[in-house]
Amino acid sequence: MRRTIRHTTLALAALTLALAGCGNQTDSGKGGDGNNVSSSPTPRKSPPASPAPSPSGGCTRASTLGAADSGRTVCLAVGDTVRISLDGTAKRPWKPVTASGSVLRAANSGFVLQPGDASAAFKAVADGKTRLESTRPLCAAQSGRVSCLGIQEWWVTVVVK
């Protein structure tokens, strides 16, 4: 009897540790093909070089932005170009990235290779402050099923000096 209790206790402890490890998985953000929803941002395909701190403080210099940069403030000099690459899926596509105001001008961003991705480039043409934005559905639309109407927002404030 004592041997069975020890084996059961060990088995339960191993199961508890295994299940605790499952809770540490992160959503890739690409999702939409399953029923899981995560508010975590979409990671970049390849990690960019770490942004250099700006001498003015408050924002950092960056030449490439991805979904993980949402909510950041970045600095550019007039003439600099910033490239944006947001990884989506056909079921959860990103809308085209937009810039408000006249501080940035759209530039050639190249090709978008995957359905649902958003790719953009903007050249800084004047001093000022603007906001880059995009959105995508929080949940994948599935015909014949109830769907959520949530939207994942992406935005970055750009300061041009």
pLDDT tens profile 117-132? 999 999 999 999 999 9
pLDDT at 44: 41
pLDDT at 35: 42
pLDDT tens profile 124-154? 999 999 999 999 998 887 777 777 888 999 9
pLDDT tens profile 8-53? 555 555 544 444 444 433 344 444 444 444 444 444 444 444 444 4
pLDDT tens profile 43-99? 444 444 444 444 445 678 889 999 999 999 999 999 999 999 999 999 899 999 999
Beginning with the edge strand found earlier in the chain, give each strand of the sheet holding 104-107 in spatial order: 64-65, 81-86, 118-124, 104-107
38-58 burial by CB neighbour count: b if 16+ within 10 A, else e? eeebbbbeeebeebeebeeee
